[in-house]
Amino acid sequence: MSSVHIRLHNPLTPPLNLRRPFRRSSFAIACLNVEVEAENSNALRLDSSKLGLAKEVMEAEAKVLVGTYARAPVVLASGKGCKLYDVEGREYLDLSAGIAVNSLGHGDEDWLKAVVEQAGTLTHVSNMYYSIPQIELANRLVAASFADRVFFSNSGTEANEAAIKFARKFQRHSNPDAKNNLAFYPTSQTN
């Protein structure tokens, strides 16, 4: 635990250089920085009072959050469509769709309206209960796919666990007298 204490109280190393492109190995990780401003762009104007704010935010975060992976030295403040804006006014393209969960972009008005409308009725209902929107979505997914039923999960982990359970259940149903073994690739284990 003392190593965590030491890590949390040490300054950021190496010192932050916000003008250097963030790299991991030979691949650039940061999004494309768009320098050219299109007509009617929503890009924020560079405000000299905000210069250095990104470094200040990153240093403040290092005091209260455990660093678990390398990050691009960018502090995002807002977004519209596929564009992101940092606290210092620079514009970027969101080429990762927010870790692949934001396919509609940022600030989509139809999505926002639907979320506000639904949040005014029910924000979340566990799969342990019945709900009409869940059945409506399941019907739409069945109609648009090969499946005759769907399974909702709240994470990739839950989906993977369910897939293993479904596969084992199918195997037991198909071959009730067979022995059941669950095998993993040798390198999937950690020391």
Mind listing the pLDDT tens digit for each residue in 71-97? 888 999 999 999 999 998 899 999 888
Predicted confidence band of residue 120 (pLDDT cuts 50, 70, 90): very high
Alpha-carbon distance 97 to 12, whole Å? 28
Q: What digits encode the pLDDT tens for the residues 127-153? A: 889 999 899 999 999 999 999 999 998
Contacts of residue 58, Cβ cutoff 8 Å, sequence gap at least 6: 12, 16, 73, 75
Alpha-carbon distance 118 to 135, whole Å? 15
Q: What digits encode the pLDDT tens for the residues 39-56? A: 444 444 545 566 688 889
| pLDDT > 80? residue 124 | yes
Q: In the prediction, which pLDDT does 29 show?
A: 37
Would you list the domain boundaries of the chain?
A: 2-102, 124-177
Q: In the prediction, which pLDDT does 182 show?
A: 67
Alpha-carbon distance 175 to 136, whole Å? 35
Q: What digits encode the pLDDT tens for the residues 4-40? A: 444 444 554 455 454 454 444 333 333 333 343 444 4
